Structure 1
Amino acid sequence: MAHAADLRRMALALPGTGEAPHFDRAAFKVDRIYVTLTGDGLTANFKFTPDEQEFKCQLAPEVFAPIDNAWGRQGWTVATLAAATMDDIQLALEMAHAHALGKPKHKRA
């Protein structure tokens, strides 16, 4: 069982991650937001690709579900923290974090 404090600690340990308010949530971002945590700390929304979302939801339907709106069709996925293991959260954070990193800038010769 994961808790909001676990998610916060693990997210902030990922390179370049900062935390900021985002409406009624806490948002964790590098170049873009990749996870938000509800104010009550019961759920978090992760940004996956649609294929990753489908995989996560099939693998652990008790933990992950697509958000039921246009954001969900873009890969945003809700996780119920009480049903999640620490590994579920760590792997989801790493996956979402990788997508939030900006594209590397190429140096000119």
Structure 2
Amino acid sequence: MITEKVFTALALSFPGTEARPHFDRTGFKVTGKRMFATYLDKDNTANIFLSTKEQALFCQMDAKHIYPVPNKWGEKGATTFELNGVAIELVTEALLSAYNEILKKKK
């Protein structure tokens, strides 16, 4: 199980990242740029913003605990990770991928 403390430490481990309130969630963004993930305490889930190709790959790896957000954001790559059941290695890899996408888009 990945706790809020562990997820926050993972998300903030990348250079130039910060946590900010985002509605009922905590958002994680590259400072001065877009968000790459959010965390929701009440159900211990994270939404990680992947490319649609990467979303498909992660969903195949653990379809029970990783799935597209059920709305328009999900169609654009926003992916829910149920942190009570997903492997920390998958979450770490997804966060790195989402973080790198933000850096690429702003260059």
**What TM-score do you get using the length of structure 1 for normalisation?**
0.89
- State how far apart, in whole Å, the 2-side matches of 1:5 and 1:84 are: 16
Aligned length: 104
Q: Which has the larger radius of gyration?
A: 1
- Residue aligning to 1:6: 6
Any stretches of 5+ residues in structure 2 without a counterpart?
Answer: none
- State how far apart, in whole Å, the 2-side matches of 1:91 and 1:62 are: 18
Cα RMSD after superposing both structures:
1.2
Runs of 4+ in 1 over 3 A off after TM superposition: none
Q: Which structure ranks higher in relative contact order (CA pairs < 8 Å, sequence separation ≥ 6)?
A: 1
**What TM-score do you get using the length of structure 2 for normalisation?**
0.91
- Residue aligning to 1:107: none
Aligned-partner residue type, residue 67 of structure 1: V
Check conservation: 1:2, 1:89, Cα contact below 8 A.
no
Check conservation: 2:4, 2:41, Cα contact below 8 A.
no
- Residue aligning to 2:71: 69
Deviates more, 1:33-42 or 1:12-21: 33-42
Aligned-partner residue type, residue 32 of structure 1: R
Identical-residue share of aligned pairs (%): 34
- Residue aligning to 2:93: 91
